Amino acid sequence: MTRVLVGTYAASGGAGLLPITRAADGRWTPGAPLSHVRNASWIVASDRHGLRFAVDEVANEVAVYRGDDWTRIAAVPSGGSAPCHLALSPDHRNLAVANYGSGSVTRLALGADGLPQGAETWSGAGRGPDADRQAGPHAHWVGFAPDGTVIHVDLGADRIMTGDRALYAAPPGSGPRHLARHPAAPLAYLVSELASTLTVLDTGDPQWRATEIVSTLPADAGRDSLGGEIVLDAAAGRLYVSNRGHDSIATFALDDPAQPRLLRHVASGGASPRFILPVGDDLLVAHEEHGGVTVLAAKDGYVRQRLDVPGAAFLLIDDNGA
């Protein structure tokens, strides 16, 4: 069996962290929610320490959990407002947090037991031309370079940053949101929320360079849509991007990793697809508005199953739950 954890928004009716399990026949079944894990819109797991870290966008904190029952053992301030993304360093010694509301980024030093024991925060700066969405900085994604340097994507300032230095300046008003790194090539893929575009970035030099920018929407889709999540499958042969508003998933082939080739657009099966998780031959999609979690066939986008999960925001394979 395979188990996936669904993080939900309480304000949208979410009951907490919901486990769903896939049986041998391919059907997914919901379990009992962990109601004390609220607003977990991003989670990372440290197998080394047996811990999970989750943001709470409402409480402005990072909570630490242990065990199958998700016992809460610690919580620390995120260093800003509306934390929305987390990343664990390759050596499991640091945890980075992106704070969307304040635009700040925090690095939490982890002790030998995995618990946060110190913090360093970078304040965001800058703005973009969209007065409604870019009046100030909005850190939306955070990660680590191979050398341990913290990298973050700033939707409000149209930049990818490391510390106070810009790695890449996105087109004004495009609103870069999330990044996916290729596991073998010096490439990264950027989804821009406001422009609904996919950008291929050459990361081989200190200053990153865009080599291609393509739309994630069909030509007749109109403009009432926002880019959402971006993810590679396990073999790095397919790239998936969600379109919120158009409510679709764009699938790109990566036969040549530097030139993603659009294969198809398929309906996501709900409203506002916020997160995508490839699981074998399934593609799970979490919808934050309505539609819950849909299970699509990764091969062709056929809707195999729908699960009623209000406020679904995040999906995580639970290696300890099966």
β-bridge mates for residue 281, sequence order = none
Show contacts of 266-272: CB within 8 Å, 24+ apart.
266/296, 266/300, 266/301, 267/301, 267/303, 268/242, 268/243, 268/294, 268/296, 269/294, 269/296, 269/303, 269/306, 270/294, 270/306, 271/247, 272/228, 272/244, 272/245, 272/247
Do 125 and 170 touch, CB atoms closer than 8 A?
no
What is the spatial distance between Cα 49 and Cα 219, in angstroms, rounded to a whole number? Answer: 47
Task: Give the total residue count for the chain.
Answer: 322
pLDDT tens for the chain, 322 residues: list them: 899 999 999 999 999 999 999 999 999 999 999 999 999 999 999 999 999 999 999 999 999 999 999 999 999 999 999 999 999 999 999 999 999 999 999 999 999 999 999 999 999 999 999 999 999 999 999 999 988 999 999 999 999 999 889 999 999 999 999 999 999 999 999 999 999 999 999 999 999 999 999 999 999 987 699 999 999 999 999 999 999 999 999 999 999 999 999 999 999 999 999 999 999 999 999 999 988 999 999 999 999 999 999 999 999 999 765 4
Q: Parallel, antiparallel, or unpaired: how do β-strands 150-154 and 159-162 relate? A: antiparallel
* Nearest residue to 139 via CA among 156, 122, 127, 126: 156
Q: Answer yes or no: are the C-beta atoms of 34 and 16 closer than 8 Å.
A: yes
